Amino acid sequence: MTDPNIGRLLADRYQLMELVGRGAMGRVYRARHVLLDAPVAVKFLSQTLLNQKMRDRFKREARACFSLGQKSQHIVQVLDYGVSEDEVPFYVMEYLEGRDLSAIIKREQMPLPRFLNLAHQICLGLQAAHQGIAVDDRMCPIIHRDIKPSNLLVTQDPEKGEVVKILDFGIAKLLQEDQGQTSHFMGTLAYSSPEQMEGKELDNRSDIYSLGIVMYEMLTGKMPLYAETHSFGSWYKAHREQVPRLPSELNPNLKIPKALELLVLQCLGKKPGDRPQSVGDILRSLEPMEHRYRPGRAISRRIETTLSRAELATGTDGGDGDELDEGATGAAVEGAAARFVDPDTLCRLQSWPKNKPVAEIVFPQLVPTSHSPLATVWVMLPQRTIRSLQVSTHPTSVSCRTMGALSPHPMMLWLTVLYVVQDDSGERRPKWLPCYLDLKQERSVALARILSDRGRYRVLFFALEEPQNCAHVAKITLSSAQCEAIRGWIERSAEVPATQASLSKNQLKQELERLKPQIMLTLESQNGGVAVD
């Protein structure tokens, strides 16, 4: 049966496009904000719950989610609230594309750096909720009560990499606040704390128990507890009596720090007092592990190794004249010999930044030298993708294109396109590496100016499997038309007032999607290595 809501215009601005979720409490639609031409998600209260008490709770849920979304980027953001013409409450959320954590756990083994990155983000979102929101001039903690992999969405950000969003805040807690339902169990059997199964009053430590189950799954791909049947009684017995095995006992090949195993098992303590007492305690326990297992070594050590193995060039880079300055790139570089490192060797000596996740991301970077900074793009990819690029003889393996938007906010899209084998099929496919430069920010303007003046940049490739060292460097030359266009955008941007940068960024994203087929035709037909504007 066709959904009558599809195509409906809600509140004169939200056009419902597709039903993407349905549950006992309501329905969620993918929609389009027709005024901004932007995707959103719209959640309706279920038709079976249209009494005043549930309307009030639904409104409180929307308010709570709005406040939490303002506090943390790791909680889904609520953008609007309203009541439809047929008197059904709804609220509007950001539309998120990604995979929930359960799909990732089922299909992929999770390396330790990735686990630490995702677990850290989940903790930040939970911490913001547990710290509370202001309600009637007092802080009211929010307990999620249903932390599980399917409520943790992993999205991809071009600059930040994987970003975790916690979904479905509010309803379970608001329902349990009702005096007539405090003895009723609400949650997911496999992820509920013992006290939650018993219908007791909950605090933040119940979420910590659920988080412990999620972290155990992330590390092992298996549940820490098993019930004989999927019944309340079987799961109640499992949560109350079973003792989880150490993750390393399930798989001796797992390389898990002992401190991390103990932390996860502590989260699974049967009594709230046996667990970490706050998410902040978990974050503090994870911090030394993040520092230890985060990729990156001092550049000075790699310079010593490189100098001992290779004869270094002295500025033979096609007239660049770039040299490494002492103290360049934020690392301690010792010795006068380092000043004779040529630009490509300098790029190969770079470390993946400690503040960046080990994930498939791309970002622009200025690499300082004694002459002038190098314009570079840093990207992390699977090792096989990088190897495909290294052995490719195709003239358009790496290409560049630039686009600019001066209204409503000056913004430039600096696009690198790879044309490489990305999977086991052997077929060459495009890999899009967009970087967005806000031309009202001094650093971005400096980078754009260097790009236009020098007419070239380098792409630094880092492998997901071995992220410490730069695996490959590609040098790309811009056309004179591209350089001239960038200079024009810089000059005209000074006359344009700053507004909302996100609007221009979204505009450029949409333009890129529209132009992708045309760009690919250009890449296929050209003889050189650069796509000309």
Catalytic residue list: 146
Whether the CB-CB separation of 373 and 343 falls below 8 Å is answered with: no
The CA-based dihedral angle spanning residues 315, 320, 324, 329, taken in that order and rounded to the nearest 10 degrees: -150
SS (H, E, C) 164-180: EEECCCCHHHHHHCCHH
Sheet of 89-94, strands arranged across: 9-10, 14-22, 26-33, 38-45, 89-94, 78-83
User: In the 8-state DSSP scheme, what is residue 252?
Assistant: T
Helix (H) or strand (E) segment spanning residue 306: helix 299-309
CA distance 260 to 119: 11
Helix (H) or strand (E) segment spanning residue 364: strand 362-367
Q: How many CB atoms lie within 10 A of CB 468?
A: 15
Closest-CA residue to 201 (of 264, 141, 279): 141
Length of the chain: 533
Q: How many CB atoms lie within 10 A of CB 442?
A: 8
Q: Where are the alpha helices (DSSP H) in 112-257?
A: 112-131, 171-176, 194-197, 204-220, 232-241, 247-250
Closest-CA residue to 28 (of 13, 42, 45, 48): 42
